[in-house]
Chains A and B, each alone.
Chain A
């Protein structure tokens, strides 16, 4: 029994490893609650949380504590319009009596001479009696109309919508009556995608650590004012909301969605988990890929270490080292009928009774190729990279793992990519081509970023390319070769499926 259990654990281990999203939690200081949408300013990323706390990062992967806001309120949100940053932050002065204040700044960099928060006044409030608690602002610039909107509210009543002046960040019409657009949630924010307005809302209980039921849900509408309907046809004013993100693995209570659009169809969203069990149950920031399926947002996962095949969406062929492959298990030969039971070596016949012949196999499971052994036949030095039909051969399996100390990008670390079981390392080469080096030496041309695209496929890009200073992505060129090329969001050439072999 003990032996069986050990064998079972060995079989399960890779699965557990691949799915353990905590392996790649953001690095550095990431403790925050109710983070704002991430803002980018002069080469740095910023987010602000409840209590006026802030986090800052140079690369979006390693974070540190930033300069606090002058207000110590609740759940801020920030947006850049023109040369100004508009930051909205709430203050509760009693049960359901709250106000959302505007702060403006020319920069988010405290070291800039232009850094100065200016008070902009109250843009929305609740009086302690009405069915609304004016906290958790979410600001949204409509990309179609260029009109600026603010959603806000919590569990005491409605989520509300008011229009702001994009020139000042203040209420466009202070006498405008706020519109009710949802209920039973908080941390609301709106985004636009492909002709639809999406209202993202956090449902569930907050602020209970590992006992928090926070989860993010969405409804959509053709109009910015709603009605926002979920996938079951339930209005968010009646508590509807299509599930978007919930607790998983060792992180509990995701909430406070914030969109970060990288362009070219690459989107990320920020959030916090109420409790990260690997960080003592602290509330922490995370940044994940935003995907879309059937007109609904889907919470994507960041790349995970492991061994994979890289399949081109353009061609269906797999990336491989350009070396002669050998069939797994040897070249097929005509076999005699397999024995009916275990053979002399104790191998079990599978499947019994299939008879012999060219198509009968060898009568027992075929192990994976031993890369260390197979690679002895490969040329030493750098080897070209190409593509071929995936045949489960050693030169077609790639191991990705974070490159220690190499930093990262928004939400993930840089990875090294090696042929599994070997030191052969994928690298960008001169003139935007590819090569496989004998081993990883840490150069920027050997560091790779993985961006999840909206359809779930991946864009894979080297950190640097010798002799070039523009970004290029791993690209199929023809059916059987790969190169580096400018990313074309309308093409499948630079889209890759990363599959477990």
Chain B
């Protein structure tokens, strides 16, 4: 059965149940998997997953096919969208809406964009997320591959070069999309992605693999200055 079809049914069902108040679970606090980074830099986790990212609040968008996603990311939604290194708390204007960049640290190997958007009281379906992180390498690394999974479609850049495109309605599978061999520079390297969700859950995971497909951990991830003041979730 079509996954988006199932996801839509599941979402609809959840809303009905919540509205009816049949389950006490509806009153529980939503799970939290994203926190504010507490240190200037962080190494990837034991499996090499990069857990620290800057995420822009979601932009309404639709279409998961190759052409639709490429058209979407090829259109300038905010200035310098393929080159900007944002800071936590920066704002951009997208189609008249002010959207904020947020530094997050995931408690899991994957970054749950559904949790992120929900915490911002933003749409979770038919949206586009921009995410950025900085990987610092103590030396040049050759024959490295960026390895990602995403729900749903996504396009990835490393140091400005597009390296992965995943299209269609799909779930986050570790090592789903893997780039061709690339070189990680000594010093900072920018990994950027645009992730498009259709309906329901949305998340991604990313790590770097060495020439033998082993996770790379001798790097650090930093996002520059991170504002530590907790802000209230946006009210619609």
Q: Give chain A nearest CB distance to B149 CB in angstroms.
A: 8
When the two chains form their complex, are residues A479 and B180 in contact, meaning their CB atoms are under 8 A apart? no
Query: What is the CA–CA distance of A483 and B167 in the complex, to the nearest angstrom?
Result: 19
Does A264 interact with chain B (Cβ within 8 Å)? no
- Inter-chain contacts of A432 with B (CB < 8 A): 181
Closest B residue by C-beta to A476: B178
Does A477 interact with chain B (Cβ within 8 Å)? yes
- Inter-chain contacts of B179 with A (CB < 8 A): 481
Query: What is the CA–CA distance of A477 and B148 in the complex, to the nearest angstrom?
Result: 11
Does B65 interact with chain A (Cβ within 8 Å)? yes
Query: What is the CA–CA distance of A433 and B177 in the complex, to the nearest angstrom?
Result: 15
Does B147 interact with chain A (Cβ within 8 Å)? yes
When the two chains form their complex, are residues B175 and A478 in contact, meaning their CB atoms are under 8 A apart? yes
Contact of B176 among A323, A431, A479 (CB under 8 A): A479
- Inter-chain contacts of A267 with B (CB < 8 A): none
Q: Give chain B nearest CB distance to A164 CB in angstroms.
A: 43
B138-177 vs A, CB cutoff 8 Å, 1 = contact: the mask equals 0000000101000000000000000011111000010111
Query: What is the CA–CA distance of A254 and B183 in the complex, to the nearest angstrom?
Result: 53
Query: What is the CA–CA distance of A42 and B229 in the complex, to the nearest angstrom?
Result: 74
When the two chains form their complex, are residues A480 and B213 in contact, meaning their CB atoms are under 8 A apart? no
Q: Give chain A nearest CB distance to B91 CB in angstroms.
A: 34
Question: Given A323-B66, A324-B167, are A478 and B181 neighbors across the interface (CB < 8 Å)?
Answer: no
Query: What is the CA–CA distance of A130 and B176 in the complex, to the nearest angstrom?
Result: 68
When the two chains form their complex, are residues B176 and A433 in contact, meaning their CB atoms are under 8 A apart? no
Query: What is the CA–CA distance of A479 and B177 in the complex, to the nearest angstrom?
Result: 7
Contact of A431 among B165, B167, B181 (CB under 8 A): B181
A31-63 vs B, CB cutoff 8 Å, 1 = contact: the mask equals 000000000000000000000000000000000
Chain A interface residue number, banded: 10 to 19
When the two chains form their complex, are residues A483 and B180 in contact, meaning their CB atoms are under 8 A apart? yes
Query: What is the CA–CA distance of A63 and B180 in the complex, to the nearest angstrom?
Result: 40
Q: Give chain B nearest CB distance to A359 CB in angstroms.
A: 9
Q: Give chain A nearest CB distance to B75 CB in angstroms.
A: 17
Does B67 interact with chain A (Cβ within 8 Å)? yes
- Inter-chain contacts of A479 with B (CB < 8 A): 173, 175-177
A465-487 vs B, CB cutoff 8 Å, 1 = contact: the mask equals 00000000000011111010000
Query: What is the CA–CA distance of A322 and B168 in the complex, to the nearest angstrom?
Result: 13
Contact of B178 among A322, A388, A431, A481 (CB under 8 A): A481
Query: What is the CA–CA distance of A431 and B180 in the complex, to the nearest angstrom?
Result: 9
Query: What is the CA–CA distance of A350 and B85 in the complex, to the nearest angstrom?
Result: 57
When the two chains form their complex, are residues B145 and A480 in contact, meaning their CB atoms are under 8 A apart? no
Query: What is the CA–CA distance of A412 and B234 in the complex, to the nearest angstrom?
Result: 67
- Inter-chain contacts of A477 with B (CB < 8 A): 145, 175, 178, 213
When the two chains form their complex, are residues B67 and A478 in contact, meaning their CB atoms are under 8 A apart? no
Q: Which residues of A in the span 369-411 have a Cβ within 8 Å of any Cβ on B?
A: 388
When the two chains form their complex, are residues B147 and A478 in contact, meaning their CB atoms are under 8 A apart? yes
- Inter-chain contacts of B165 with A (CB < 8 A): 322
Q: Which residues of B in the span 58-89 have a Cβ within 8 Å of any Cβ on A?
A: 65-67
When the two chains form their complex, are residues A324 and B147 in contact, meaning their CB atoms are under 8 A apart? no
Q: Give chain A nearest CB distance to B36 CB in angstroms.
A: 31
Query: What is the CA–CA distance of A433 and B163 in the complex, to the nearest angstrom?
Result: 13
Query: What is the CA–CA distance of A322 and B165 in the complex, to the nearest angstrom?
Result: 9
- Inter-chain contacts of A388 with B (CB < 8 A): 168
Question: Given A478-B147, A478-B175, A479-B175, are A324 and B181 neighbors across the interface (CB < 8 Å)?
Answer: no
Q: Which residues of A in the span 410-444 have a Cβ within 8 Å of any Cβ on B?
A: 431-433
Question: Given A324-B65, A324-B66, A478-B147, are A433 and B181 neighbors across the interface (CB < 8 Å)?
Answer: yes
When the two chains form their complex, are residues B67 and A324 in contact, meaning their CB atoms are under 8 A apart? yes
Closest B residue by C-beta to A429: B180
When the two chains form their complex, are residues A478 and B178 in contact, meaning their CB atoms are under 8 A apart? yes
When the two chains form their complex, are residues B177 and A480 in contact, meaning their CB atoms are under 8 A apart? yes
Closest A residue by C-beta to B142: A431
Residues of A bordering B, CB below 8 Å: 322-324, 388, 431-433, 477-481, 483
Beyond the given pairs A324-B67, A477-B213, 12 more chain A to chain B contacts, judged by CB atoms under 8 angstroms and listed by A's residue number, are A322-B165, A324-B66, A388-B168, A432-B181, A433-B180, A477-B145, A477-B175, A478-B147, A478-B178, A480-B166, A480-B178, A483-B181
Q: Ordered nearest first, which 7 A-B pairs have the shortest CB separation?
A: A478-B178, A324-B66, A478-B175, A477-B178, A479-B176, A481-B178, A433-B180
